[in-house]
Amino acid sequence: MTNSCYYCSDCDIYDSNTCATGAATACVSNGGTAPAAPDGHTCSHYQCHRPQHQYNNLDNLSQYSLHMEKDFRYYFQHPYARLFVAYFVVFCNFLIFAEDPLSHSLMECSIPVLGNVISFVATKYPHDPYWTAVKVGLWLTAIFVGLVFGKYILHHIILRRVLRLKMFRDECGTWMVMFASVFISCYFFSFIYNFLLVWANPKAEELLINSYMGMTYASFMKVAACGTWCGDFFTAWMITDMMLQDNLYPGWAQTLRSFWHKHTTTRICVFWTGALVIAALVITLIVTDKISWDNLNKDFIASTELSRA
């Protein structure tokens, strides 16, 4: 006799009594067959017909806002609220960059751990080609070790097999884990490089890897501002594109959303052209100091500990 049961794809439950009023599919893990569901359908993927699950269907989800109460959640996830948060983060990051005194400091930048990795990979290279080759070989080895350890040991064995975390099932999260493991690997390999310098190089004191990056705070803050700008802007830009394509709130920006839906080629061109041009323009302004916050501000927003906090 075959072992069969009903399955509700919305509830994610295997039970002989699950979704008795709706369509169901058969659990065939043990060779079971598909008995007819109460509504006459046979083995297939049907959604639950119970009221509390009727909006889990992706087809119905686009009209979900029409049935929602105008409560906190309705306004919290409204497209205007999402867009405001996304672009307000961009503004706040630029305000921090403009107000932070470190953005104008000419002292050598020192950040624990991060400084070690940057000076190991990007700065403090010796003039001797032999030691340059040693340093490059070590950080290339560190990257390779970090990638292998991060994917196969940390992700596959520890996070996925031992801890059984669902967020790391299959190949999910491998890039994040591998990036973190490469960063840590470079940090530890910098100590191996320091040991070799002290052991065999008479000018080791000038080349030792530490938290000092070999660049000023002003230069580092420009690099950080370019990175945060790209991350924040691309995120906000993608959110804008997704909100214009989404149907969850059919009443907002109807004209623009209609144009966005009908002109696919134009949408793609506008998205990528706008992203690249705006990003390049702002990065140019950051790097070249064409715009000075001190000249624009004129104490409009007083630079105090409170404003910087």
pLDDT reading at 39 higher than 60: no
| Per-residue confidence band for 147, with pLDDT thresholds at 50, 70 and 90 | very high
What are the distances in angstroms from CA 130 to CA 127, 141, 200? Answer: 9, 16, 12
Q: Where are the beta strands (DSSP E) in 108-220?
A: 108-110, 212-216
Structure tokens at 25: 């599919």
Residue pair 241/274 in contact by the 8 Å Cβ criterion: no
Q: Which of 189-203, 247-261, 294-308 shows the lowest mean pLDDT across its residues?
A: 294-308
pLDDT reading at 277 higher than 80: yes
- Length, in residues, of the chain: 309
pTM for this predicted structure = 0.64
- Mean pLDDT in the chain? 79
Residue 7: helix, strand or coil by DSSP? strand
pLDDT reading at 175 higher than 80: yes
Residue tagged 């001190």 (tokens): 294
Look at 75 and 57; give whichever has higher pLDDT. 75
- Highest average pLDDT, of 21-35, 92-106, 147-161, comes from 147-161
Q: pLDDT of 215-258, one tens digit each?
A: 899 999 999 999 999 999 999 999 999 999 988 888 888 899 99
Structure tokens at 90: 């961009």
